[in-house]
Amino acid sequence: GKSFRHRSSLTVHQRLHTGERPYECGECGQSFRQSSELIIHQRSHTGERPYECPECGKRFQTSSHLLLHQRTHTGERPFRCPDCRKSFNRNSHLVRHRRIHTGEGPYECPECGKRFQTSSSLLKHQQLHTEDRPFRCPECGKGFKRSPHFIRHRLTHTGERPYGCPECGKSFSQRYNLICHQKIH
């Protein structure tokens, strides 16, 4: 197990395992593990962009997005590849670049285990497996052999949470997450 200095940090971490998202947006119903995530999300509804670039005046919803943007002015590229010394302005770009050296494919097909470098390559590959899957999701195109699996998948798009805890009222999209949550009580 992982250890935490503050009880609140442990609580937030446990929500990764239980699926609990107690902070709900009153505008669209989307829910979050932390109140800070909800606050940032709500800016997508209000259009609020409180962080302004002093260089060009462009505004951002989060301070981290402002910091990333400011690198376009400074030319700062703090993330360097240890293999070829090429540098990047974002860590995510370095991570993607390093796959060239490792040959790693981070996107794995859940059907056959084959790995791909990009999500688009994986999606194209997955079409090979969907021929005999009559239940197709209209949102993302994923196919299912059995109706219950299709119905459970649809909840990931609708945000519906039909499994409620009788103890505290928290709700979950999957029964398994409710069972994990109930162990807390």
Model-wide pTM > 0.85: no
φ and ψ of 112, to 5 deg: -125, -5
Q: Nearest CA to 59 among 70, 51, 47, 67?
A: 51
Whether the pLDDT of residue 74 is over 80: the answer is yes
Q: What pairing do the DSSP bridges indicate for beta strands 87-88 and 171-172?
A: unpaired
pLDDT, mean over the chain: 88
**3 state DSSP class of 144:** strand
Report residue 66's pLDDT band, with 50, 70 and 90 as the boundaries. very high
Domains parsed from the chain with CATH numbers: 7-46 (3.30.160.60), 134-184 (3.30.160.60)
Q: What is the pLDDT of residue 131?
A: 67
| Distance from C-alpha of 165 to C-alpha of 163, rounded to nearest angstrom | 7
- Amino acid in position 9: S
Q: pLDDT at position 3, please?
A: 93
Q: What is the pLDDT of residues 132-184, one digit of tens each?
A: 778 888 888 888 878 888 888 888 888 888 889 999 989 888 888 889 889 88
Which residues contact residue 184 at a Cβ distance below 8 angstroms, ignoring those fewer than 6 apart?
A: 14, 18
CB atoms within 10 A of CB 18: 19
More confident residue, 43 or 123: 43
Identify the pLDDT of residue 133. 78
> Is residue 61's pLDDT more than 80?
yes
Task: Give the pLDDT confidence score for residue 28 in this predicted structure.
Answer: 92
Q: Residue 130's pLDDT is what?
A: 65
What is the Cα–Cα distance from 117 to 133, expressed in whole angstroms?
Answer: 25
Q: In b/e form, how buried is each residue of 114-134, taking b as 16+ CB within 10 angstroms?
A: eebeeeeebeebbeeebeeee
- Residues 75-112 pLDDT 10s: 999 999 998 999 999 898 898 888 878 777 778 888 88
Closest C-alpha to 87, from 73, 71, 103, 102: 71
C-alpha to C-alpha distances, 180 to 34, 68, 166, 184, nearest whole angstrom: 19, 37, 14, 8
